[in-house]
Structure 1
Amino acid sequence: MFSTLLRPKMKQHATRFRFDLLVIGGGITGAGIALDAVTRGMSVLLVDMQDFAAGTSSRSTKLIHGGLRYLKQMELKIVSETGRERKVVYENAPHVTEPERMLLPFHKGGTFGPHMTSAGLAVYDRLAGVEKDERRTMLSPEETLRLEPLLKREGLLGGGHYVEYRTDDARLTIEVLKKAAEKGALCLNHCKAEKLIYDGDGKVAGAEIRDRLDGSLFRTDADHVINAAGPWVDEVRGLDAIDNDKHLKLSKGVHIVISQSRFPLRQAVYFDSADGRMIFAIPRDGKAYVGTTDTFYGGNPEDVAAAADDVDYLLKAANGMFPGRGLGREDVESTWAGVRPLIHEEGKDPSEISRKDEIWESESGLLTMAGGKLTGYRKMAEDAVDRIVRRSKDRTYGPCITKALRLSGGDFDEPGELELFIEGKANEAELYGLTREEGREIAAFYGTNADVVFRFAHAAGEGAGLSAAVRGRILYAIHGEMAATPADFLVRRTSWMFFDAGKVRIEGKKITEYMADLLFLTEEEKARMFQELDHATSQAAGLQGG
């Protein structure tokens, strides 16, 4: 049950049934918890006040990485755990995760030198359990430039070449949630927990929840409640009695997207900027994106957007490492900004605060999952659900099975099967009235769910100025991925808002009209959808202030 049209039925279930677990927050952490819990035999309800993954989980650097920067800070446990989790994520969802060779150049006077880089990457490989054929190689200046000719040549001493994994963070979250729903979890987006409910002993036992799409209020009961609200963790804790002195500190991260026609980056690069911060520059689908910033943020996480000085900072860093391009604001096609929920550490700058995760428990029994990284979501979920299992002495639940559980769309015996699968689907696409290239794109994007998208595309045909492929994707997003608004589709279900801004400008309003018709919206509701589209487009354009 994961269709937007089934929301009324899902809310009825939520009010009539007592759940073993209520998860507040539908980012990657909450999604992972829901999947782990439901596959152990728990009944699960998950709610998110926005769309799934609308917070941090759609606004990261889009890497499943072991965190080389944490080696520099001597956080060896984080490097080891997240490094080993990278391959787990890849094997369970190869259609949204792929190995990405990363180049770490080192220059005279820079943060890293040849010996430090070689030793650091060797330790990184060992801690992360990297397989022999993927371990780091050290390169001469000439070899480094052959991999990436745009690099600054002056003072170049060489480079390190090592493996990370690139992902689509929002798609990964959606695929986790789809698998959780397939296993029986009830997942509702655009539903906000406004008030916690307590039993006679003062223990948290559910919540009153507001559907932000239609304004309705409903109550749900649960034996256990986990707060996995990411940047809103302290807000949810505010509904309960906060009985410890720990809290979050939000750090803002911004990325900019530039066409490869202006910035023809061949190779993903991890480099140090003039102020010592480490920056990524990554090619993707005809674009290159650069990020991230790391500054404390005190505003509303729902409204975070790239400011002009954020964009200028990243352009300065890019021009410093790739001096021949002369990149300016006019080259920035889109941006995204998000906040990282870090556990506050007094006196530390954002880049110095640990990315470790912790579980907090209040006197009422409310569990809060705080901190952590995208890469470690599965292990974090396992730890959180273990706490619930230990509490539930009168119930028997199964062991954690998510380490070898294929996510939705990832039903391959081996990740290497994906390429052959894509080519096979390219051939089949013509039977559904699609081009081979459309078939290839859909298969690569949706994995083993591609056939469902094909059938929707064939049934939808063309119309309203939209191709059959686009209409098929919209239908699948609504009926199979709970997209309810234009931003749900354009930002979290496709990433077109970030990586195909031209398409959004041309087809955004047509897509909104089509979605409004499919969802039987009133004129007032349709007007709100257009407002949301304008807001999302404005946020992605960035350059606020300055």
Structure 2
Amino acid sequence: MPAPRLGPDYRRTALRRLASDEFDVLVIGGGVVGAGAALDAAARGLSVALVEARDWGAGTSGRSSKLIHGGLRYLEQFDFKLVFEALKERRLLLNRLAPHLVRPVPLLFPLRHRVWERGYAGAGVLLYDLIGRTKQLPAHRHLSRAGVLRAARGLDPQALVGGIQFYEAQVDDARHTMTLARTAAQYGATVLTGARVTELVRAGERVVGAVVRDAETGTEITVAARRVIGATGVWTDETHEIAGVPAPFTVRMSKGVHLLVPRARLDLGSGLIMRTEKSVLFVIPWDRHWIIGTTDTDWALDRVHPAVSRADVDYLLARVNAMLTDPLTAADIEGVYAGLRPLLAGESAETAQLSREHAVAEPAPGLFVIAGGKYTTYRVMAADVVDAAVRGFGRAAPKSLTEHIPLLGALGYHEMWLERGSIADRTRLRPATVEHLLHRYGSLVSELFHLIAERPDLSEPLAGAPDYLRAEAVYAVTHEGALRLADILIRRTRISIDQPDRGLAAAAEVARLVAPHLGWDAEREQAEVVHYTQRVKAERAAQQAADDHAANAARLAAEEPAPTPVYNPLTIENG
């Protein structure tokens, strides 16, 4: 089957289908669990609609630590079930489901205490390796102090006595989430962003659909469905409120902050994982940068734009600098982002101690909600909520098949990777550019090459973000469903965190490239650039604020752009 193109024509058709068809399953929420549930249900042969208020991965699923991991610290908490489950999923993603998006990353655990810590930590890492064994990841190894300093010369010799190196996996979370949604569309799901659920529809006590507002036109449509699944993460309590039912469980938000510093700034040959008094600190290689994270603090403010404060930055810098010979300063930071973990609320006062397990409930007949969990186990969570939804369907539904379904771009990726040199020669692109594209698109890179063949100027790098081609901006709109400039700069690409200016220099060029494909006039094109500029300005102001409340107020100074009607998809048949 050809990969679906989630461009404007697809969107018009999708809105008409939502208004006219009855679906077996309507999934609310376009994060990794919602997109995974849509794929799971569609692969079982069910008719599926997936709606997301903003963009694929716009919430938590695009703001993680970019790791696919079993959670080594959960072994210490004796949560063996979660670790076994997560390591199986890591193996599937690396080997079968998304090898183009998920790849190995080395991590070094510095030891600070003699004798007992090596034995204690070493036993845990050995068990972790045995549980998660896969040919894609080398076995762990113990290092002396001299061995650690050879692998990571930037570490302070006085801050460690040795170390253990082991491997995890890394993912571009927003691209992975978008690819899940696009794969669901390939299996027949109708998927749509910019579609906010404003109320649920009932027949008596049973939930039989939802009212959805199109963000581009303001039009409201009623979507009929036999089952509705809410996979809304930190918005789960809001889903219960819309349903008008008591919450079977509540979600507590934990803010995780990440900083990006230039790769050349830290003399490390491996990523790092270190204990803190609250949680775990990672230093993770990310193309030309290191990602330093994360915090784990309670958050009760704006859920759409969790803000990073000066206190967050100072906390992370202090923890990582305790291990470095050449300490980092705020001036070294080139990118910043924060995400909110949806933790199942419990009795603990500390968010770091709340459960990472997930829960599924049916708070009203026909409505199923899922919350909790962790990014790595999204597929298990999706299968669990679909299993619950299809019980009593009146016809037998197959069991989950997603363990065996490679995501778009996976099939043929390995072969193309081996041929990347000849691909570079054939396309006249630099070998490094071809590798960059294969790691982002897998075998779907052929679609970008087709765009470039039609418009050779798209092979040029973006002037304000030379690691990305102009074709990638256009492809984000024509094939990947991006609706706004921020969708492209923040999630389809990572220009917003990869560039020191956070994408300001690239914004106008990207807007100009995509305007014809989205039907933007000059006023809308300029408005998108202005809004993105204001967003960056507000984020920088938040980072200077002393605490969460001040940072939240500064971040909210950049308002979301109002809907700008471009077309009415329910009345216009042709683009």
Q: TM-score, normalised by structure 1?
A: 0.93
Q: Distance in 2 between matches of 1:305 and 1:506?
A: 23
Which residue number in structure 2 is paired with residue 125 of structure 1?
A: 129
Letter in 1 for 2:291: Y
Q: Within the alignment, does 1:104 sit opposite 2:101 as a pair?
A: no
* Aligned pairs (5 A) from 1:60-139: 60-91=64-95, 92-108=97-113, 113-130=117-134, 134-139=138-143
- Comparing 380-389 and 170-179, the one that deviates more: 380-389
Post-superposition CA distance 1:404-424 (Å, at most 9, x none): 211011114xx7546314334
**Post-superposition offset of 1:510:** 1.4
Q: Distance in 1 between matches of 2:127 and 2:263?
A: 34
Q: Distance in 1 between matches of 2:90 and 2:120?
A: 24
Which residue number in structure 1 is paired with residue 400 of structure 2?
A: 400
Residue 257 of structure 1 is aligned with which of 253, 260, 273? Answer: 260
Post-superposition CA distance 1:13-36 (Å, at most 9, x none): 111100000000001000100001
Letter in 1 for 2:386: V
The 1:503/1:361 distance shift into structure 2, 3 A limit, reads closer
Q: Distance in 2 between matches of 1:155 and 1:261?
A: 21
Residue 157 of structure 1 is aligned with which of 148, 155, 161? Answer: 161
Residue 241 of structure 1 is aligned with which of 237, 241, 244? Answer: 244
Q: Distance in 2 between matches of 1:466 and 1:246?
A: 46
Letter in 1 for 2:241: G
Q: Distance in 1 between matches of 2:351 and 2:439?
A: 36
The 1:231/1:133 distance shift into structure 2, 3 A limit, reads closer
* Aligned pairs (5 A) from 1:163-182: 163-182=167-186
Which residue number in structure 2 is paired with residue 46 of structure 1?
A: 50
- Comparing 279-288 and 128-137, the one that deviates more: 128-137
Which residue number in structure 2 is paired with residue 387 of structure 1?
A: 388
Q: Distance in 2 between matches of 1:180 and 1:204?
A: 23
**Post-superposition offset of 1:426:** 1.9
The 1:355/1:535 distance shift into structure 2, 3 A limit, reads farther
- Are 1:64 and 1:164, in contact at CA under 8 Å, matched by a contact in 2? yes
Letter in 2 for 1:441: H
| Structure 2 residue matching 1:518: 3-state secondary structure | helix
Which residue number in structure 1 is paired with residue 41 of structure 2?
A: 37
Q: Distance in 2 between matches of 1:70 and 1:398?
A: 32
Q: Distance in 2 between matches of 1:299 and 1:100?
A: 34
Q: Distance in 2 between matches of 1:320 and 1:11?
A: 53
The 1:132/1:523 distance shift into structure 2, 3 A limit, reads closer
Q: TM-score, normalised by structure 2?
A: 0.88
Letter in 2 for 1:508: A
Q: Distance in 1 between matches of 2:499 and 2:353?
A: 34
- Are 2:25 and 2:229, in contact at CA under 8 Å, matched by a contact in 1? yes
Which residue number in structure 2 is paired with residue 217 of structure 1?
A: 220
**Post-superposition offset of 1:197:** 0.3
**Post-superposition offset of 1:137:** 2.0
Q: Distance in 2 between matches of 1:351 and 1:359?
A: 21
The root-mean-square deviation of aligned C-alpha atoms, in Å, is: 2.2
The 1:306/1:189 distance shift into structure 2, 3 A limit, reads same
**Post-superposition offset of 1:244:** 4.1
Q: Distance in 2 between matches of 1:5 and 1:245?
A: 38
**Post-superposition offset of 1:162:** 1.4
Q: Distance in 2 between matches of 1:260 and 1:371?
A: 33
Which residue number in structure 2 is paired with residue 355 of structure 1?
A: 356
Post-superposition CA distance 1:92-129 (Å, at most 9, x none): 1111100112111110389x811111111122223334
Letter in 2 for 1:411: L
Q: Within the alignment, does 1:512 sit opposite 2:517 as a pair?
A: no
Which residue number in structure 1 is paired with residue 436 of structure 2?
A: 441
Q: Distance in 2 between matches of 1:80 and 1:3?
A: 35
**Post-superposition offset of 1:544:** 4.2
Q: Distance in 2 between matches of 1:331 and 1:315?
A: 10
Q: List alignment gaps of at least 5 residues for structure 2.
A: 547-575
**Post-superposition offset of 1:461:** 3.2
Which residue number in structure 1 is paired with residue 452 of structure 2?
A: 457
Which residue number in structure 2 is paired with residue 427 of structure 1?
A: 425
Q: Distance in 2 between matches of 1:487 and 1:425?
A: 31
Q: List alignment gaps of at least 5 residues for structure 1.
A: none
Q: Distance in 2 between matches of 1:500 and 1:391?
A: 51
**Post-superposition offset of 1:380:** 1.1
Q: Distance in 1 between matches of 2:278 and 2:238?
A: 33
Letter in 1 for 2:113: K
Letter in 2 for 1:101: P
- Are 2:478 and 2:517, in contact at CA under 8 Å, matched by a contact in 1? no
- Comparing 488-497 and 152-161, the one that deviates more: 152-161
